[in-house]
Structure 1
Amino acid sequence: MFSPLRREELPSSWDVVVVGGGPAGITASIYLARYGLKVLIVEKSSVGGKVSVNPIIENFPGFPSITGEELSRIFHEHARKSGVKILFPEEVIGMDLDGEEKKVITKSGRELSAKAVLIATGAEDKKLNVPGEAELYGKGVSYCAVCDGPLFRDKRVVVVGGGNTAAVSALYLAKIAKEVIVVHRREKMRAEQALTERLSSLANVSFRWNSYVTEIMGREKVEGVKIRGKEGEEIIQADGIFIFIGVEPNSHIARKAGINTDENGFILVDYWQRTNKYAVYAAGDVTGEPMQIAKAVGEGVRAAVDIYNRVFGGAYGSPKQSWNPVPCRPY
C-alpha cells in the first residue's frame, strides 16, 4: 500500500512541482531528485496513473509479466528512495505559470510554488459507456492492442472504431487473433484509404457497418458483444473487445493557464518537452499518442534533463535567453 504524504509535513516552496504521478511524472521526478533538486509530485488518484489499474503488463523492458499495481508500487518506491515527495490523493485545480515562481493550487487550498513545473496529467480513453465495459475492463475489454493483443492469440476479437488508430490496431490484431470483427457506426472507415484497403483484403477481418455496441457480455471475462445496426440486434461471440473511439487529454487546467495545445487538446511541446511558457514542461500521454509506458518514460527523462540544464543552469550560463520551443512530434 502507498503511504500518502502528511499535509503538515508539506513545504510550500519547491524546485520542481510535477503534476501527475504516472510513468512520465515518476521518471522525471527520479532524475530531478538525483540532480539534487527538491521535487514534489501531486497526484489526484493513485501513483502510477493508468498503469496502476492495468491487470497485466507484458511489454515493459525488464518485466516479462507484471501487474499494473505491482509496477506502480515499484515506481513509487523508487521515487521515494530517490528523495521525491509525493502528495496524493490531491487534485490540482489551477496554475499560474507566468512569473519566475510558478504557482500550483490544489483543491485543498494549498498554493505551491516552484521554479519549474512539469505537467504529466495523462489522457483518458473515451468510453462506450455501455453495460459490461467497466466491469470487464482487463478481462477482455482493452483500449490498447499492442499492450493486450498477445493475450488473444488464435481467438476471436471485436474492434470498435473507424479512425487510423482503430485500423492500425485491427491490422495488428489480425496477425495474432483467429478472427477480427470491426464495428463502426458509419458506412465506411474514417481511416486512411490505404489502411482500409489493407484491412478489407484480409480473410480473417470482417465488418459491421452502421452499427454500435449496446452491451459487452460476460461474467468473469468477455464472452460476447451485443450490437445494433440497420438489420436490428446481433450478438457476436468474442473473447475480447478493443475500443478505439478517441482519447481525451487531461489538459484543461493547463489550457486555462495559457499552455498551447493542438486542435485535439494535446499539449504542444518541442523535442525537450518544453511548452510555450518558460520553465513549464509537459510529458506523457497529455502530449499525444502513442499511449505507451515506454514513450512516457522517455519523455520524462528528456524533460528532467532539460529542466536541470536549462532552468537550473546545469549546462548553460543564461538558460532563459535560449528558451525558444518549436513544437514537434518526434513519433
Structure 2
Amino acid sequence: METKRENIIIIGGGPTGLSAAVYNARAFLEPLVIAGSPPGGQLTLTSDVENYPGFESILGPELVEKYRKHAEKFGARFVNENVASVDFSDQNNLKVKLNNGVEYSARSILIATGASAQWLGLESETRLRGRGVSACATCDGFFFKDKVVAVVGGGDTAMEEALTLTKFASKVYLIHRKDSFRASQIMQKRVLAHEKIVVLWDTEVIEVLGEDKVSGLKLKFNSDKSKDKVKGDELEVQGFFLAIGHKPSTDFLQGHVDLDKKGYVMTYARLAEDFLRGNVELSNEKREYLKGGLDKHYSYSTSVLGVFAA
C-alpha cells in the first residue's frame, strides 16, 4: 500500500490536538489529524461542560465538534482511526500506520494522545458513563448538588475527588478495596476528618446499578470493617466517580520515543532536566541533541527530531 506524504501529522483528537490543528491549519500547513476511534478524547465522555470560556453550558461531544469544524475551516483534515504502529528510524520520513492498514509519513509529528482514566472494567460501568458514572469530579461534581455520590480509589486523586465532591453532594462514600490508603498523610487527614465523607474499607464495587442512570452500587465486603455502614450489599447513590488513576495512551510509542516509567512521553524540558541531574542515561546522539537544544527552549521536543508532544 502506498505511503501518503503529509506536512505534519497530529496524533490525538482531544482539545490539545484540536488546538494544534487550528494553529497549524492557519499557518497553511494543512495538518492531518489522526483523531482516534471514537474521536474526541475524554471530553466526549463529559456530559455538560460549564467551565469552558464562551459557553455557559455545552455538551462535551458538541464542544469537540465545534473545535473540529473550526480546524476544518482553515484546512485541517481528520481521520477517525487509531494508530497501530510508528517508525521513527528515518527522521526525514517519520511513518505512522493506522489500524486500517493505511500508512502516512511526514517530517513533523505532534503527539497529543493524552491519557485515559482507568476503569474497573464492569459492563454496567461502561453502559452508564456520562449518566452518573464519571472520572472527573471537577467536571461533573456540580450536577450532583445535594445528592449522594461514591468515589472509588485510595490515592491522592481519590482524596481530591472526594473533597471536591463535598462542595456539592450531601454525602460522599469513599470506597477502597484495602484497609488503608496509599495517599499522602495530609490528604488522608482531611478526608477522614470531613463530616460529609464516609469511608468503606475492604470494599469492592462489583456492579453499577441503574437502567438509564446510576441508582446505586452493588458491593463486595472483604472484611466486616465497614459492613455496618451499609444496609445489605447495595449502596444507594446517584453518582459514581472513578479515581483509580490514569493510563497514558502511548502503547504504540514503546521503543520509538523516550517514555517515563509511567508511560508518558519525555519532552525536551523533562529530558534535559533528568539528563543534567544524571537521572537518565542517553546515547551520544541524544546527548548532542539535548545540548544543541539547550538554548532553543523547544520544550515540546522529544528524544526524536521532528517528533513533538503536548
Fold match (TM-score > 0.5): yes
Write out aligned runs for 1:76-225 (5 A): 76-88=68-80, 90-98=81-89, 99-225=91-217
**TM-score scaled to structure 1, two decimals?**
0.78
Paired-residue identity, %: 36
1:121 maps to amino acid: T
1:138 maps to amino acid: G
- Aligned-pair distance for 1:87? 1.7
Contact 1:48 1:76 in 2 (8 A): no
- 2:305 aligned residue (278, 281, 300): 278
* 1:247 alignment partner in structure 2: 246
Which runs of 5 or more structure 2 residues have no equivalent in the other structure?
270-298
Contact 1:183 1:209 in 2 (8 A): yes
Contact 1:47 1:76 in 2 (8 A): no
Paired with 2:184 and 2:30, the residues of 1 have a C-alpha distance of: 47
* 1:286 alignment partner in structure 2: none
- Aligned-pair distance for 1:100? 2.1
**TM-score scaled to structure 2, two decimals?**
0.83
Contact 1:48 1:75 in 2 (8 A): no
2:50 maps to amino acid: E
Which runs of 5 or more structure 1 residues have no equivalent in the other structure?
1-6, 284-331
Contact 2:166 2:196 in 1 (8 A): yes
In the TM superposition, structure 1's runs of 4+ consecutive aligned residues that sit over 4 Å from their partners are: none
Per-residue Cα deviation, 1:233-285 (whole angstroms, up to 9, x for no partner): 5221111111111211110111232x1112111112245322111121112xx
SS at match of 1:134: helix
* 2:259 alignment partner in structure 1: 261
- Aligned-pair distance for 1:13? 1.5
* 1:293 alignment partner in structure 2: none
1:249 maps to amino acid: P
2:86 maps to amino acid: M
Contact 2:45 2:60 in 1 (8 A): yes
* 1:71 alignment partner in structure 2: 63
Paired with 1:238 and 1:47, the residues of 2 have a C-alpha distance of: 31
- Aligned-pair distance for 1:74? 0.6
- Aligned-pair distance for 1:109? 2.9
Paired with 2:238 and 2:44, the residues of 1 have a C-alpha distance of: 24
Per-residue Cα deviation, 1:147-179 (whole angstroms, up to 9, x for no partner): 001111121110100011001111111122111
Contact 2:46 2:140 in 1 (8 A): no
CA RMSD of aligned residues (A): 1.9
Contact 1:185 1:212 in 2 (8 A): yes
* 2:275 alignment partner in structure 1: none
SS at match of 2:149: strand
SS at match of 2:254: helix
Contact 1:21 1:46 in 2 (8 A): no
Paired with 1:205 and 1:108, the residues of 2 have a C-alpha distance of: 48
1:234 maps to amino acid: D
SS at match of 2:108: strand
Q: How many equivalent pairs are there?
A: 273
1:277 maps to amino acid: V
Paired with 1:270 and 1:227, the residues of 2 have a C-alpha distance of: 45
- Aligned-pair distance for 1:210? 0.7
- Aligned-pair distance for 1:131? 4.5
Paired with 1:95 and 1:219, the residues of 2 have a C-alpha distance of: 41
2:266 maps to amino acid: L
2:88 maps to amino acid: L
Contact 1:102 1:113 in 2 (8 A): yes
Paired with 1:111 and 1:156, the residues of 2 have a C-alpha distance of: 49
